[in-house]
Chain A
């Protein structure tokens, strides 16, 4: 297993390099975009004296390479700086928005995985029959529908017309809901406030349903397509015939042998599409007024609040890199050939 350790180490180093690249790109972007930071920080009627003082305090008068090194070093230490507009610290603002986005992305992933894999298997094993056509049609629609439009339509249908689900907002988070199970002192208290928890959880579920469907549909469709074509490819292999000839029950052949081999390419593609998931979350949050990273990023860009832009994008990119390393490690375990 030494080779696996070395593989992991190499991927981690590569990942660190990518994060450094991301930080560098953001630094360059900040310096090539028009407008001096002082313009965004200083009040409109500030005199030269004040402006100089601000530039001095923010280290904007240093040579560019000093600024770069300072910037990288402070980020590495987890120091994200202060927003231009409100002069509030960036790190708590970014991390306070993170749970909402993670909940949304997680719920969408659950929707996608739970729906797509059975659908893909069904489609492949009953090829050219009703279920296959239905699944193919669904996945074609799913990959062709812009998620924000789907969100607006779901709101119109289930929020406005039938009033089944709320149209927007996130009144409780998952952590708030779980708070009902924990006493003030932090320990698990007795009696547990199970009723309070399930109430809060039900509210959370009601509010996240439409956003999760909105974000999850594209991935459901994508993974359904991949599962179907992967299964069809594998079902034609000779090992399947061998397994059947051995007298293994068909369900065992399908799920134990064929589906397992199909999952390998699916994991790669899903790992690569994680960026799409985050991008989708950004726009889904806009549709549903979901108070996550997406709204923060868009507000920050509109206000050209660089520390906030940098902080949130570095967090997003680092998350992407970390998840991809995990995906690669999973992949290497499933298919040791890739550890070249």
Chain B
């Protein structure tokens, strides 16, 4: 295998984008603070997800019951417990004040099992982004061809395919997803974590010395549970939005003169769709894809929250766990939720940026949980 060169990937990508588009993207990014914020957020989330074993301070699944329910930094508190005790044969009322201090070691606190919330939030980014991106790719792979065929051939084909789309729309996506995952079971694939199995994370973590004599705790999960069924299901559930947008584009583009010309020159339908219809429909599909990543991240977290995902390092899963402690430890549910909100804001801002830069006439349509 040739050594991977990130620059060649960048060049390959930019070669596919016209200079005008690149200029538009650039100027929109320069002029919009929100676009910069969105790109910034996404970079942070992406880096956390990819390099989780290097960044997470603790093993996210390491349980230290002595440190359970530790509050996040800035929320240290004292709890006074009143109890009756026998002292010298007499019943006395004893007040005990327990100080529960936040520590730098667990900046976002710990959960009910003493697992570090920050590490869990960092690892949760993996589940969310993987499901978001892979689910969107799958939805696109199903929806775009169907939409293009529907809009290009029109007539009976279009009618039939759009009725199927209507049936798909009649099921609320969350309900359909619950049904599919619930009925087919929650298969997860354990993917080995290359940073851990290669020993790289252990090595790098050993090099870092923390202030205050703290040592970086070693040991990270060797595998990562990829929620396979969930990815399949969110892809299947969301194809219809891509089909609708692709169809709309194909309807418009197929009326263009260059399409007529290409057909007159003997271009087969297949050729015309691939050479003309698809490339000219790409922009709205891309914009929809970003909206869909956001929608699928929300859908995944909903499934995990309801216990239908099988992933145990997921923001939704942690929120469900934190619900049990809503009277004593609010941060267990709050922290992963904040991570979702920030991530989805990032994705939505990037979506707005792409839309404004590429085609201001598009309105967001699909999405939501």
Residues of A within 8 A of B (CB): 14, 17-19, 21-22, 25, 29, 33-34, 140-141, 143-149, 152-153, 155-156, 160, 218, 222, 225-226, 229, 265, 269, 272-273, 275-280, 282-283, 286-287, 297-298, 301-302, 304, 309, 313, 316-317, 320-321
B326 near A156 with CB under 8 A, answer yes
Q: How far is A76 from B229 in the complex, measured between Cα atoms in Å?
A: 33
Partner of B327 from the list A160, A275, A276 (CB cut-off 8 Å) is: A160
Q: Can you list 5 residue pairs at the A/B interface with Cβ under 8 Å? A: A144-B345, A145-B344, A146-B302, A152-B322, A272-B169
Given the complex, which residues of A lie within 8 Å of B334, measured CB to CB?
153, 156
> Is B319 on the interface with A (CB-CB < 8 A)?
yes
Closest-CB distance, A302 to chain B (whole angstroms): 6
> Is B337 on the interface with A (CB-CB < 8 A)?
yes
Residue of A nearest to B361 (CB): A233
A279 near B306 with CB under 8 A, answer no
Residue of B nearest to A281 (CB): B172
A301 near B179 with CB under 8 A, answer yes
Most B CB contacts (10 A, CB to CB) among A33, A152, A320 go to A152
Residue of A nearest to B343 (CB): A144
Report B352-369 residues with CB < 8 Å from chain A CB: 363-365, 367-369
Given the complex, which residues of A lie within 8 Å of B25, measured CB to CB?
none
> Is B178 on the interface with A (CB-CB < 8 A)?
yes
B173 near A269 with CB under 8 A, answer no
> Is B194 on the interface with A (CB-CB < 8 A)?
no
Residue of A nearest to B340 (CB): A146
**With A141-B345, A282-B178 known to touch, is A321 a contact of B333 (CB < 8 Å)?**
no
> Is B164 on the interface with A (CB-CB < 8 A)?
yes
A156 near B369 with CB under 8 A, answer no
> Is B184 on the interface with A (CB-CB < 8 A)?
yes
- Taken residue by residue from 314 to 357, chain B's Cβ proximity to chain A (1 for < 8 Å, 0 otherwise) reads as 00100100110011001001100100110011001100000000
B302 near A273 with CB under 8 A, answer no
A153 near B337 with CB under 8 A, answer yes
Given the complex, which residues of A lie within 8 Å of B327, measured CB to CB?
160
Partner of A156 from the list B173, B306, B333, B344 (CB cut-off 8 Å) is: B333
B169 near A265 with CB under 8 A, answer no
Given the complex, which residues of A lie within 8 Å of B171, measured CB to CB?
22, 25, 275, 313, 316-317
> Is B167 on the interface with A (CB-CB < 8 A)?
yes
> Is B289 on the interface with A (CB-CB < 8 A)?
no
B183 near A29 with CB under 8 A, answer yes
> Is B294 on the interface with A (CB-CB < 8 A)?
yes
**With A144-B345, A146-B298, A282-B178 known to touch, is A22 a contact of B170 (CB < 8 Å)?**
yes
B333 near A152 with CB under 8 A, answer yes
Q: How far is A156 from B330 in the complex, measured between Cα atoms in Å?
A: 7
Residue of A nearest to B333 (CB): A152
**With A21-B166, A29-B179, A286-B306 known to touch, is A279 a contact of B172 (CB < 8 Å)?**
yes
Q: How far is A225 from B364 in the complex, measured between Cα atoms in Å?
A: 10
A14 near B163 with CB under 8 A, answer yes
B323 near A152 with CB under 8 A, answer yes
Q: How far is A316 from B179 in the complex, measured between Cα atoms in Å?
A: 13
Closest-CB distance, B361 to chain A (whole angstroms): 10
B365 near A272 with CB under 8 A, answer yes
Q: How far is A55 from B322 in the complex, measured between Cα atoms in Å?
A: 44
**With A140-B345, A156-B333, A298-B178 known to touch, is A316 a contact of B172 (CB < 8 Å)?**
yes
A146 near B175 with CB under 8 A, answer no
Given the complex, which residues of B lie within 8 Å of A226, measured CB to CB?
363
> Is B301 on the interface with A (CB-CB < 8 A)?
yes
Known: A160-B327, A304-B183, A313-B179. 10 other contacts (CB 8 A): A19-B170, A22-B171, A143-B344, A144-B345, A145-B337, A146-B319, A146-B341, A148-B302, A156-B334, A269-B365
